[in-house]
Chain A
Amino acid sequence: MLEFNNITKTFNTGTIDETTLFSDYNLTVKKGEFVSIIGSNGSGKTTLLNLACGTIKPDSGKIIFDGKDISKLSEYKRAKFIGRVLQDPRMGTCPELTILENMALADNKNKSFNLGFAVNKKRIDYYKTLLEKCSLGLENRMNVSVGSLSGGQRQALALIIATMSPIDLLILDEHTAALDPKSSETVMKITDDVVKEKGVTTLMVTHNLRYAIEYGTRLLMMHSGNAVLDLSGEDKKKACIDDLLKIFNEISIEVGN
C-alpha cells in the first residue's frame, strides 16, 4: 500500500545545523493498517507524515503508493487520495467560513470548482448526519462560522471533513495534542469510529502512549529516524504503557538526557 524505500532526508544542508534525520529508511504499511507512531521530539514522526503527504520531499529514495511512485507528486495532487488532520485545530478548516460552507467545499473535493453554486441544499441533510455522529451538537449550528467553535469542535469537524470524500490514506499528525483531555478523548473516539467504518489505511502520530496502545493495529516507536519498536498483531495487543516508557527511558539515557 504505502512504502518508503531507502529514504534519505537531511535538514539545513550545508550549515552547521546540518542534521541527517533519515538515512536509507524503509517502511511498508499494509492496506487497512492503522499505525500509531510515537517517539520523542525530533525523532522523525512528523517528517515521516510530511514525506507521505508531499509537504517535504526526500533527498533520495522513493515513496510508493498503491504501486505508483509518488515521490515527485506535489502536495495538492497527493491530497486527492489523502485525508489529513493537523495538530493545530485552526489548520483543518476555514475559520471565516461557516460549517456548511466548509463542508460544501470538502464535498466538492476532486471535482471541478466551477461557477456552479457552492452550497447544494439537498446535501445539507447528509452533512448533518455526518455531524450527528460526533454528538457535539454541530449539526444545529450549520451557519455558524467555524472560527467561533472550540478547538475540540473544530478538530472533530476537521476530521469529518478530511474523511468526507473517499480517501485511501488518512494522516493524523498529533491531532489531539492541542485539545483538553475531554475533547481529546472525544476526537480520538470519533477517529476510531471513522477509521473502522471506512477501513482506511491510517498513520497517526501521537504523544499519548495510551492512545497508541488502545487504538490502531500497529505501533511504531521512532528514534532518530529509525523504528526502534514495531509491534503488530498479538504483540501490539499485549503491549502496555510501562513497557513503552521503559524503552523511552533507555533511549533518553542513550542520548544523554
Chain B
Amino acid sequence: MDVFINILKSIMEEGLMYAIMALGIYITYSILDFPDLSVDGTMPLGAIVTGVLIIKGVNPWLCLLISFAVGMAAGAVTGLLHVKLKIRPLLCGILVYTALISVNLVILFVGNNGMSIASFFRKPTIFSTFLGSIIPETVGGIYIRTVLVSLILVIVCKILVDLYLKTKSGLLLRATGNNERYVTMLACDSGKVKILGLALGNGFAALSGSVIAQSKGSADQQMGVGMVVLGLASVIIGLSLFKKLTFMKATTMVILGSIVYKACLSAALALGLPTEYLKLLMAVIFTLALVLSNFLSSGKAKPKKAAGKAGM
C-alpha cells in the first residue's frame, strides 16, 4: 500500500511540475501553431540558472521569476530567428536548443566553480521557504509538501494563462496561430505576436525547469533531454483525451495530460521496465498519443490545422 501511495505521489509531483512546461508548449504548439524544439534547451536553462543562483544565496522564489524571464529571452531568440531571418520553425528550435547547450554549460561552469552539476541540497528552496514552510510537511505520515506547492504553482500558472488568453494581447496571439493574414489585416505585425508567444512558451518551460531543479536539489544540462517529446505528448494526450468535456478549459486538459503521461511512464517502470528504456517508452507513448488524437478527430472534418495551413 505504501509503495502504491508513493508511486501515486511521485506521479502527481512530477506530473504537476512538468505541467508548467506543458502549458508553455500549449501556447507555442496549440495556440501559435509553432512546433518549438528550443524547449529542450530552455527547460534546463531555467533549472541551471536557478541552481547557480540558489547556491549564490538568491531567494528561491525570486529564482522562479528570473528563470521565467531568462526563458522568455531565449524563446524570443527563437522567434527572432523565425520572423526576422525567415528560418523555418523546426530549424529555429534546433538552432536555439543547440546554442543553449553551450550557454547552459557556461553558466554552470562559471557560476559553480567548473562543476557540471549544480547541487544545492541543503539550501532553501521554494519547498522550504515562504509558501513551502506554511504547508505542513506530512499528513498521516505521507510527505505532501512538494505535491501541494507544485499544485498551487500549476494552478496559478493556469489561471494566469487563462486570463491572458482573454486579453486583447492574448486574443491576438490566438488569432495569429489561427489566421496570420487576419492579424495583418488588423494592422498588427504578426511577427511581433509570434515572438511574444514563443517568449511566453519558453518562459513557462524555464519556470518548470526551475521548479523541478528545486525539488531535486540539483540542476544539470541532462535534464533537458526529451522535454519536447514529453511536453508535446502531454499537450496532445490532454487535448485529445478530454476533448469531449466541453466545460473543461484547454489549460486544464493539458495539466491532466501531463499527469496521465507521467502515470503511464511510472506504471511501466513499476511493472519492472528497466530505466534504460524510459526514453524509448516516452517516444512510444507519444506515438500512441498522436495516433489516438488522429483516431479521435477522424470522422468529422479535420478541424484546425488543415484549415489554417491551406491558405498559407
Contacts and interface: CB of A to CB of B under 8 A. Distances in A.
A116 B304 contact: no
Interface residues of A, number: 34
Interface string B289-312: 000000000000001100110110
Contacts of A90: 179, 307, 310-311
Given A94-B178, A105-B172, A79 B186 contact: yes
Nearest to B167: A115
Interface string A68-84: 00000001110110011
Contact of B174 (A77, A79, A97): A97
A113 interface: yes
Given A77-B187, A79-B187, A91 B181 contact: yes
B188 A76 contact: yes
A76 B174 CA distance: 18
Contacts of A32: none
B190 interface: yes
B179 A94 contact: yes
Contacts of A95: 178-179, 304, 307-308
A118 interface: yes
A93 B167 contact: no
B167 A105 contact: no
B166 A110 contact: no
Given A75-B184, A91-B182, A91-B311, A96 B304 contact: yes
Nearest to B303: A147
A191 B73 CA distance: 45
Given A90-B310, A92-B182, A95-B307, A80 B187 contact: yes
Interface string A88-116: 10111111110001001110111011111
A92 B186 CA distance: 10
Contacts of A92: 182, 185
B185 A119 contact: no
A117 B163 CA distance: 9
Given A90-B179, A90-B307, A94-B178, A112 B187 contact: no
A131 interface: no
Q: Please name the 6 residue pairs, one residue from A and one from B, whose CB atoms are nearest each other, closest first.
A: A79-B187, A118-B171, A94-B178, A113-B168, A80-B187, A113-B172
Interface of A: 75-77, 79-80, 83-84, 86, 88, 90-97, 101, 104-106, 108-110, 112-119, 147, 162
Given A76-B183, A105-B182, 17 more contacts: A76-B187, A76-B190, A79-B187, A91-B311, A92-B185, A94-B174, A97-B178, A105-B168, A105-B171, A106-B186, A108-B168, A113-B169, A113-B172, A114-B169, A117-B166, A117-B167, A147-B307
7 contacts: A96-B174, A97-B174, A101-B174, A105-B172, A105-B175, A118-B170, A147-B307
